[in-house]
Structure 1
Amino acid sequence: MSVTRQATYDLVLEAIGAAIIVVGSFISVNLSAVPFTLQTLAVMAVLMTLGGKRGTISIICYLLMGTVGLPVFAGMKGGPYVILGPTGGFLAGFILVGFIYWVTSDRWFRIDELPRIRRIAAKTVLSIVCLAVLYAVGVVWFMYIYAHETGEIGLASAVSLCVVPFILPDIAKLIAAVAISEACRKIVKAKI
């Protein structure tokens, strides 16, 4: 495949990845201070399906669209105030998750080259690590913003608001993301 054709192919996949994340954020239910969305499913499915580099670029495009004001975040919100708000750490954490997935899966372990069972196991473990990082960044940011807006909040309270209600649904989303990535693997690898 020529360089121009490969670049076009990558750009199209990255745009599709960003669109998938947007759709995942539109499905939103406010259960607590942090809304329940399918963003985690979308982000991890995009990373695992497109690969770390293309997936991370998709995440950055999604966040840039929302930051400039397009209503692509949960609850059809957009603008810098969302990134700077209490749940902005979870959004910003997607970038860190993308880079971790990129470096770990594409550079260190070359997950896509593993036999099927090992690849699925590696994707599952790596997605759980990424989820833990996302929780850590989101909770720290939530505590920082919450403390400035309304007063102190302890780690236990922040975790009970931002993590505990989401652990089981997020694990289910990670399993679904692995299944989606495996189902779409041949399509993405085909390079039309």
Structure 2
Amino acid sequence: MKSHSRLRTVDLTYLGLFAALMAICAWISVPMPAPLVPFTLQTFAIFAAVTTLGGRRGTYAVGVYLLLGLVGLPVFAGFRSGPGTLLGTTGGYILGFFVCAVVYWLVTAWLGESLWAVFLGGTLGLAACYAFGTAWFLLLYIRTTGPMSLGAALGMCVVPYVLPDLCKLALAVLVSRQVRPHLR
């Protein structure tokens, strides 16, 4: 009898593959002037993981990705890694990927995996990532550099990325709908 709470070897393989995809997508980056968050394809990979693997396994893949970066593998944008990256002003957005995946998992666990529920889960997850990352950014920026308003932080770190990130969500959903039937 197969237990649904245990991860099988094939599940672990998928977690590793999607963690690698996240790293590759992080390396595809358009640098922005400091302290702005670089424009990357990481959010596409996060959405691809949760929409293809499902909320639980996708969240685990994001966790694996974050752990790889934490221990020093250069998996973050600009080939960065380590606790210094995660604890820096833009680290909240990287940690927010996990929040995004958890929110997606909760929404789809509650509403199912219909197309509208997947988009709702992804959109709410993205909003949670933005909220977590912006709060982190503001806290550290104010402590290290000086005062900044919430509006200024949103203008620098969220507004320029909303439309591209929603496009990445749509692309990830399209790709996952094609790939998912072929997974064991």
Structures share fold, TM-score greater than 0.5? yes
Query: Counterpart in 2 of 1:109?
Result: 111
The question of 1:129 aligning with 2:106 is answered no
Q: Using the alignment, how far apart are the partners of 2:139 and 2:152 within structure 1?
A: 13
The question of 1:31 aligning with 2:15 is answered no
Query: 1:41 offset after TM fit, Å?
Result: 0.6
Cα distance per residue 1:3-33 (max 9 Å; x no partner): 6x96111111111111111111110111341
Query: Counterpart in 1 of 2:103?
Result: 100
Q: 1:6 to 1:27 in 2, by over 3 A?
A: same
Q: Which amino acid aligns with 2:146?
A: G
SS in 2 for 1:153: coil
Q: Which amino acid aligns with 1:34?
A: V
Q: Using the alignment, how far apart are the partners of 2:26 and 2:131 within structure 1?
A: 20
Aligned length: 180
Q: Using the alignment, how far apart are the partners of 1:6 and 1:29 within structure 2?
A: 36
Q: Which amino acid aligns with 1:110?
A: G
Query: Counterpart in 2 of 1:173?
Result: 168
Q: CA RMSD in A?
A: 1.6
Q: Using the alignment, how far apart are the partners of 1:44 and 1:187 within structure 2?
A: 18
Partner residue of 1:140 out of 135, 138, 152: 135
Query: 1:122 offset after TM fit, Å?
Result: 1.9
Q: Percent identity?
A: 42
SS in 1 for 2:77: coil
Partner residue of 2:65 out of 62, 68, 71: 62
Gaps in structure 1 of 5+ consecutive residues:
112-118
Query: Counterpart in 2 of 1:162?
Result: 157
Gaps in structure 2 of 5+ consecutive residues:
none
Query: 1:94 offset after TM fit, Å?
Result: 1.2
Q: Which moved more, 1:88-97 or 1:42-51?
A: 88-97
What TM-score do you get using the length of structure 2 for normalisation? 0.92
Q: Using the alignment, how far apart are the partners of 2:80 and 2:73 within structure 1?
A: 7
Query: Counterpart in 1 of 2:56?
Result: 53
Q: Using the alignment, how far apart are the partners of 2:38 and 2:94 within structure 1?
A: 12
SS in 2 for 1:75: helix
What TM-score do you get using the length of structure 1 for normalisation? 0.89
Q: Using the alignment, how far apart are the partners of 1:65 and 1:6 within structure 2?
A: 19
